[in-house]
Every structure is written in structure tokens, then in C-alpha cells.
């Protein structure tokens, strides 16, 4: 399974989803970051991240073709170049099994998430490969309400899939993991008493 995580919009959780949702579930997957500006998975504790630029599509494909599983985290600053480079390759869109589009409940992210799906569809990606993942949803909200335009887009255009059962709710734990550059596994493996002891020793509120 090779999964590309993509969105024209920044700050929707692409790298967090790649690192904390996909990586633990795709055993042995090689991690690729198509990024030149923003935070990459290596900043979140993921080891051996291969970094490419958006227009390095041919080099990326040459590398990933030998892998059984891969996660491709495409930064917003590189999406345009990545899609343009992909369009120049015959069947380039078929190199990945799924395209995950994280979408958060704000107007810009919603608009650009739908634009991303539409662009992927025009590039030849089949609808069943495009998956919207609602992210940073308040536990008090109904995902079908806060992301109503996306649900309507999928229903109207038949592009992509979205489910009210597949939601990432807003949680401070992601900020904690990112700040400390650790995985869920490392967090849950930590001894609770040692954790409390270290928290008491620091005077830095952010570190606590």
C-alpha cells in the first residue's frame, strides 16, 4: 500500500496524520517527505525520512517502485509542482494506491480540499482512491455540519469518499507529541511515575 497525503492548503495536519495515523498502521512503510519549507515527519520523531522536492517526481517514483509500502507526505508548498510533474508521466496518478486529503473545519481548508480532490480527479486518479479525512473536529460538533460543503461535494461530483465515522477529533495530545518529537508508542511506553517526576522538575510551562 502506497499512500499520498496531499492538500493545497497548509496547516490541515498532513504531516501529523502521516506520522501518527498512517505510519503505525503501515508496517515497514518507507516515509517520503515532499517538502522544502515547513515541518516534516523527521521533526516529529520519524526516522529515515527521504526528502524530495515537488518536481522530483521521477526520482521519487524510481525509489518507491521497489517498496511494498510507502507514505508520501506532500507539503502545501510543493503540491503544485508535484501534481504538474505527475501529469507529465503516463499513468503517474496510478503510482499510489490512496490519496488522503486531510480537511479541517475552516473555509479556506474546505475550499482547497475540494480543489485538491478535483485536481486529482482531472489528473486521472479514480474516485475510490481519494479519501477526505476530517481533522481537528470538535467533539461537540457534528462532522456533517461543520464539513457540510465537503459532504455535498462528494455527493454531487462523485469524487472521493468521506465518512462521518472516520474522524480525527481535536486533541492536545498531537501538540504534545509534536513538541516532544515522539510517537504514540513512545508516549504509551513511558513510565507514568518517571513522566510525573520530569514534569515536576521543569519550570517551562510549554515543556510541561
**Alpha-carbon gap, residue 158 to 71, rounded angstroms:** 25
CATH architecture of the domain 2-170 equals: 3-Layer(aba) Sandwich (3.40)
Work out whether strand 30-34 and strand 98-103 pair parallel, antiparallel, or are unpaired: unpaired
Please give the helix or strand (H or E) that residue 173 lies within, else none.
Answer: helix 172-180
Provide the residue count of the chain. Answer: 208
> Would you write out the chain's pLDDT as a tens digit for each of its 208 residues?
999 999 999 989 898 899 888 988 998 999 999 987 655 555 555 677 888 888 888 899 899 988 999 999 999 989 999 999 888 888 888 889 999 999 999 999 999 999 999 999 999 999 999 999 999 999 999 999 999 999 999 999 999 999 999 999 998 776 677 666 666 666 666 666 665 666 667 666 555 5
Q: CB within 8 A of 152, min separation 6: which ones? A: none
Domains of the chain: which residue ranges?
Answer: 2-170
pTM given for the model: 0.84
CB contact at 8 A, 86 and 123 = yes
Amino acid at each position: 500500500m502506497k499512500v499520498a497525503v496531499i492538500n493545497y492548503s497548509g496547516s490541515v495536519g498532513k504531516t501529523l496524520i502521516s506520522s501518527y495515523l498512517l505510519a503505525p498502521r503501515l508496517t515497514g512503510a518507507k516515509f517520503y517527505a515532499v517538502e522544502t519549507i515547513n515541518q516534516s515527519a523527521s521533526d516529529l520523531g520519524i526516522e529515515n525520512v527521504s526528502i524530495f522536492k515537488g518536481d522530483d517526481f521521477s526520482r521519487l517514483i524510481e525509489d518507491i517502485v521497489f517498496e511494498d509500502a510507502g507514505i508520501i507526505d506532500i507539503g502545501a508548498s510543493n503540491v503544485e509542482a508535484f501534481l504538474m510533474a505527475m501529469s507529465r508521466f503516463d499513468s503517474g496518478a496510478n503510482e499510489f494506491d490512496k490519496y488522503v486529503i486531510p480537511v479541517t473545519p475552516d473555509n479556506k481548508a474546505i475550499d482547497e480540499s475540494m480543489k485538491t480532490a478535483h485536481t486529482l480527479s482531472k489528473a486521472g486518479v479514480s474516485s475510490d482512491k481519494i479519501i477526505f479525512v476530517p481533522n481537528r473536529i470538535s467533539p461537540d460538533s457534528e462532522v456533517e455540519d461543520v464539513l457540510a460543503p465537503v459532504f455535498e461535494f462528494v455527493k454531487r461530483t462523485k469524487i472521493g469518499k468521506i465518512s462521518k465515522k472516520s474522524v480525527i477529533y481535536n486533541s492536545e495530545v498531537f501538540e504534545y507529541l509534536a513538541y516532544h518529537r515522539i510517537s504514540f508508542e513512545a508516549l504509551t511506553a513511558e513510565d507514568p511515575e518517571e513522566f510525573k517526576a520530569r514534569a515536576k522538575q521543569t519550570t517551562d510551562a510549554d515543556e510541561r
